[in-house]
Amino acid sequence: MYPQTTRTTASRSRDRMSYDRAATHAVLDEAYHCTLGFTVDGEPRVLPTLHVRIGDTLYLHGSTGSRPLLDARADGLPVCVTVTLLDGLVYGRSQFHHSANYRSVIAHGTAHLVTDPGEKTDVLTALVEKVGVGRAADSRPPSRRELAETAVLALPLVEVSLRSRTGGVRDEPADLDLPHWAGVVPLRLTAGLPEPDVGVTAPLPAYLRPARSPWHEPVALRGEHVLLEPLDLSHTDELYAATAEAEVWQYLSRSLPTGPEQLREVILAALNQQHRGERVAWVLRCAGTGAVVGTTSYYAIAPQRRSLAIGHTILGRPWWRTGINTEAKLLLLGRAFDELEAVRMVWHTDIRNERSQRSLERLGAHREGVLRMDRQRPDGSWRDTVQYSMTVDEWPKAQVSLREMLRAQPSSTR
């Protein structure tokens, strides 16, 4: 526990205060930035900056030319540091009882400039590791000039308090019958889809990938005719070259891209869906030539019901009626039923796409019905969608049919 002082003892709502060391450290470690307060010539100053905690010391990042760092060189700089995590908005029936759920740490003390080269290097490494464990080894360390331009302040965690609010609405009893909605809207900080810089060819590092269940993991799948690898923006140009024909996009939910940039937006949308756990996207490569020839996906992924769908399939016209699409389905069905232990697979196709319907029926999928006016086509008309399915009990027979179809189809040498 941290000791209470006159600066850390609350004058109101003392039930929200805590001096627990572990809880305080947890807030400091979860937050990525803090606010540094200090005075300059008797005037208050507040500076947002980055921080990292090592043991019972809070380290603050800055520039060697900034005023607080210059003032900290001699006897140290009296500071107040705050870190706040907003966890929710509380809506009361009365305006007075609107509030917020939060966790907020306030630390008082005297910060000193870190001058020991080893300590400074360790702190900067820890700051980089905070944004991703393994990042320090996966990036260039600072040069001597960069180290000289960077300053680090050290604040011993001695006078520290944690203030928080949790729970729901705390309306007055007289307001409970008012006809207004009341409750809590949770808030949280979540990472979006990483966006690579121009020219980056390195794969996305593991520390930037969201934790996934096997159902959401785009593992590589290999066959004799086709290779399935995780879809990436780096596939844009090859995929556009392979699929840039109106007939390929005829029954899809997007119209034919006019160039690679439009196709890049299609891929980016797929990757965002994948990041949210709504889809698993692959690119199709011809096993014989290594050329990118199309893409396909799992979607409607429901591990709790052990069900998913195959779709968003785009295959270049020269590779139709080769073994590529057939073997891709075989690989995806095998992963679903044999590895993920799914019990149901679903397909959706435009009612006008008779070729797709016949193909699904040949492999053993059952037509379940028509979803009328299910979605809007790129031309504005409304599409009726035919739904097909296959169950795990039907998979053994379907697997035999797919392998027979595969033997009858030529491999691609284009």
C-beta of residue 34 within 8 angstroms of C-beta of residue 81: yes
| Residue whose entry in the numeric block shows the structure tokens 């002082």 | 5
Tell me how crowded residue 153 is: count the other CB atoms within 10 A of its CB. Answer: 26
Coil vs helix vs strand at 97: helix
Residue 204: DSSP 8-state: P
Rounded Cα distance between 138 and 118, Å, is 20
| 8 Å CB contact between 384 and 373 | yes
Question: And the tokens for 319?
Answer: 């590779």
β partners of residue 85: 103
Q: Per residue of the chain (414 residues), what is the pLDDT tens digit? A: 888 888 888 777 788 889 999 999 999 999 999 999 998 888 999 999 999 999 999 999 988 767 667 676 778 899 999 999 999 999 999 999 999 999 999 999 999 999 999 999 999 999 999 999 999 999 999 999 999 899 999 999 999 999 999 999 999 999 999 999 999 999 999 888 898 888 888 888 988 988 889 999 999 999 999 999 999 999 999 999 999 999 999 999 899 999 999 999 999 999 999 999 999 999 999 999 999 999 999 999 999 999 999 999 999 999 998 999 999 999 999 999 999 999 999 999 999 999 999 989 988 899 999 999 999 999 999 999 999 999 999 999 999 989 988 888 776 655
Task: Tally the C-alpha atoms within 13 A of residue 187's C-alpha that lie toward its C-beta.
Answer: 12
- Residue that the structure tokens 């044999």 belong to: 338
Q: What is the pLDDT of residue 53?
A: 97
User: Taking Cα atoms as reference points, which of 136, 149, 143 lies closest to residue 52?
Assistant: 136
CA-nearest of 398, 238, 227 to 324 is 227
- Helix pair 395-408, 354-363: axis angle to 10 deg: 120
**Domains detected in the chain:** 14-170+178-186 (2.30.110.10), 215-408 (3.40.630.30)
Tokens of 366: 């059952």
**Torsion angles phi and psi, residue 62, rounded to 5:** -160, -175
Q: How many helices (H) and strands (E) does the chain have?
A: 9, 17
pLDDT score, position 360: 92
Confidence at residue 407, expressed as pLDDT on a 0 to 100 scale:
86
Q: Which residues pair with 204 in a beta bridge?
A: none
